[in-house]
Structure 1
């Protein structure tokens, strides 16, 4: 086993998602769990396992990229595509984007209320478990607040015998939820020493600071860009924006000043170096602050099965087509904008593929499969056909042609590679996986990394008027990537840098939400893919545009929050619906 694993198999045997440790004689009673370190560890393991760090271990791991228009999934029947194609109303509810984990909160509250009564556990151990549980509860509230705004803050185990006024709680305000998250994190910081354990999946001091860094940046953005909603429980007063930016700034700076983390910069090849961030695990990665630990077979996921290009040994493959609209964000290493005039993408123009893609930001080349990029020692092909010297075309995937340099290429690529966008997600894919099958991938999911710390710091510093500090932070990121340094920090280039640096890491959708600019990218938009025809006589490509999606995206301003379902509203008479969804 490559690293610490949280007794996941034991925890799954002992705990169900809905009724932890029932008091049936055939199971272990709740009242003895906290008399054993092994059982306590299993209980805590179940809390980690149910916390939403990565949304899925299968096809749905592309959910946030799909709704944020980074990449989509192969087919519209898959949940990520359905998530951006469906309607959001009170009748349809929040759908696959939902996260309403009060069952998880109940079990966290149970630990906090009962572990203190243990007659056998050491007090220092008890305090450490309480601190971990309080972090997970705060993180859970953050996940709910991102989706719904204000939600009820419940810090005790509820019983069906409780008075109605305690059972049917109204929503707290969004500000109160974010303040709760910050205060909980602040209260437990002193319970952790300076030893790092986050890269191995265990919450530590720096994990807690990163929750403050991220959550307070969200709160600040909501205050600065939004305002309080008509129902009073969504939005944050604009006058509080700087106080939240300061909290985010302070938490990020504490991590930076600790000297415990640095940007991964061990390989002179900038593409290889950036790719290695997501394949280097545990304490060997200086950039990882907190990771969700995965291990093939024991607790594996299926990223490689779904993400490998067709033709490289994975039975499903080519599942995450990257949208050209997003590719345009990746500039060229010589400083040129990545947004090539789309009117030039016609059948009458030819392109050197090495310039069109190969000279882009190294983070693009490490994150996206594109025509002729190398994978497992072989080029990946995306062209639909070959144009011969006499002008005729051939599109056989089984026949080959000899190129000008003497190498062989197929006359057309495998069909799944080119089906939607002719570009595929590469980031986090393990090219050394000998068995890219279901449950056979073990790349850890990095929840917090130092690259995000610098990006959070830059954004908070900018709005606090500390523009030199913001500039230094984004230039550390750009220098590591091998991109020209900025001479000035602006809102646009800080946001641009964040979108590129953190691509496919489940940030973009939420960034567009908190910046209140989502409709600009997600409403009345039909995203595009590319079509490649290879010209044998000139060793160039004809590149044209195609529709990547079957319909135009829709995203109204009400979508800054998800709707509560009618069933949830019916369960609690004190709930109010989010703005724009009232029936």
Structure 2
């Protein structure tokens, strides 16, 4: 739901999605440190220090970050321009800016909201309140994020009429078969594999310059430049067809003789942001956070927002790529029976999935 819902007017989203950026992706978009102007990971900047960032390590060895502050949304400011073209985050807009009904709020209410309040709530997250915080956010509206983020790339946003209906227009979104950025990064990858690191860096910098970034200033050895090419492909092609990241991982794994792809064998990560929301069934109030100095009608006071990144280690979202067979898709048994000329792909002959039940 958008904001402004009541028993008189309901402004509903007209789409469903399961496409949610992970914290792993968001972490890759660098932030300009407001203290020295250098590009860094967001948790390394002055903005992060102002949010009292604490660092822990999860069971997969990932660094997890937590902090607090009235201005916690500063962690989303001054990022690589591609971040804003790719990710919709807490405080961003899905539609006209500066109109509160289009602002996305993916924070979680720190207090319990009753059923009547939830009826009109429009928090855009699968986690509505603290009562559901330990369980996977399933069957809570398929348009609600499970990671704290939404995909923005190639999205089309309609506006609302005064009566709550959507003012739909013909799509203005363009879908690309190939972009010049892909040509450049293909060239960079080929160059680095031919030990032409300088040529690869030249292509990388064309991409970075267009994204408002400074030139690449990392190590210039073959492996370090190769890693930078991989990172640029991740940032540049997120959520574009034909699923660049997955097939890039397969291609790199095959080239390096891997039978296991670590990234596809661990839980994805998300972010949880905790605030106190207004509790009301008045249009325009639900899904809106209390501001400093405000108190709810039920006596709940404003509290400084807190946040933490976390692994989404739920059985619903398990990933597995621990065998080279997954580089290939198996043919169905009926296909093999109907087409005697077809041979089963490597690793799948006689393989059967075992039910967890």
Same fold (TM over 0.5): yes
Residue 363 of structure 1 aligns with which residue? Answer: 82
Measured in 2, the distance between the counterparts of 1:511 and 1:318 equals 24
1:384 Cα deviation after fit: 1.2
Structure 2 residue corresponding to 1:554, chosen from 305, 309, 320: 320
Measured in 2, the distance between the counterparts of 1:519 and 1:456 equals 21
Structure 2 residue corresponding to 1:469, chosen from 183, 199, 209: 199
Counterpart check, 1:526 vs 2:261: no
Measured in 1, the distance between the counterparts of 2:107 and 2:82 equals 23
Measured in 2, the distance between the counterparts of 1:371 and 1:325 equals 16
Structure 1 residue corresponding to 2:23, chosen from 316, 324, 339: 324
Is residue 395–residue 412 contact of structure 1 (8 Å, CA) maintained in 2? no
Task: Map 1:405-444 to 2 at 5 A.
Answer: 413-416=123-126, 419-431=145-157, 441-444=171-174
Is residue 107–residue 272 contact of structure 2 (8 Å, CA) maintained in 1? yes
1:534 Cα deviation after fit: 2.5
Structure 1 residue corresponding to 2:227, chosen from 478, 484, 492: 492
Is residue 368–residue 423 contact of structure 1 (8 Å, CA) maintained in 2? yes
Structure 1 gaps of 5+ residues are 1-308, 387-392, 400-409
Residue 39 of structure 2 aligns with which residue? Answer: 335
Is residue 563–residue 578 contact of structure 1 (8 Å, CA) maintained in 2? yes
Residue 310 of structure 2 aligns with which residue? Answer: 545
Pair 320,579 (structure 1): closer, same or farther in 2 beyond 3 Å: same
Measured in 2, the distance between the counterparts of 1:419 and 1:565 equals 33
* CA deviation vs aligned residue, 1:10-44 (integer Å, no higher than 9, x gap): xxxxxxxxxxxxxxxxxxxxxxxxxxxxxxxxxxx
1:381 Cα deviation after fit: 0.8
1:521 Cα deviation after fit: 1.1
Task: Map 1:260-275 to 2 at 5 A.
Answer: none
Count of residues paired in the alignment: 257
Residue 107 of structure 2 aligns with which residue? Answer: 383
What is the CA RMSD across the aligned residues, in angstroms? 3.5
TM-score, with structure 2 as normaliser: 0.61
Pair 411,361 (structure 1): closer, same or farther in 2 beyond 3 Å: farther
Structure 2 gaps of 5+ residues are 4-10, 33-37, 45-54, 58-62, 127-142, 277-290, 293-302, 351-357
Measured in 2, the distance between the counterparts of 1:455 and 1:501 equals 9
Measured in 1, the distance between the counterparts of 2:166 and 2:261 equals 37
Task: Map 1:5-404 to 2 at 5 A.
Answer: 310-311=2-3, 313-317=12-16, 319-333=18-32, 334-337=38-41, 341-343=55-57, 349-351=67-69, 352-375=71-94, 376-377=96-97, 378=99, 379-385=103-109, 393=111, 395=113
Residue 51 of structure 2 aligns with which residue? Answer: none
Residue 345 of structure 2 aligns with which residue? Answer: 578
More helix by share: 1
Residue 181 of structure 2 aligns with which residue? Answer: 451
Measured in 2, the distance between the counterparts of 1:559 and 1:426 equals 29
1:483 Cα deviation after fit: 1.7
* CA deviation vs aligned residue, 1:454-505 (integer Å, no higher than 9, x gap): 1111111111222222111111111111122113461100110011011111
Is residue 457–residue 470 contact of structure 1 (8 Å, CA) maintained in 2? yes
Is residue 529–residue 545 contact of structure 1 (8 Å, CA) maintained in 2? yes
1:439 Cα deviation after fit: 10
Measured in 2, the distance between the counterparts of 1:557 and 1:436 equals 48
Pair 557,452 (structure 1): closer, same or farther in 2 beyond 3 Å: same
1:397 Cα deviation after fit: 11
User: Which structure would you say has the larger Rg?
Assistant: 1
Measured in 1, the distance between the counterparts of 2:312 and 2:108 equals 15
Pair 497,397 (structure 1): closer, same or farther in 2 beyond 3 Å: farther
Measured in 2, the distance between the counterparts of 1:437 and 1:552 equals 39
Pair 412,384 (structure 1): closer, same or farther in 2 beyond 3 Å: farther
* CA deviation vs aligned residue, 1:171-220 (integer Å, no higher than 9, x gap): xxxxxxxxxxxxxxxxxxxxxxxxxxxxxxxxxxxxxxxxxxxxxxxxxx
SS at match of 2:306: strand
SS at match of 1:468: helix
Pair 358,466 (structure 1): closer, same or farther in 2 beyond 3 Å: same
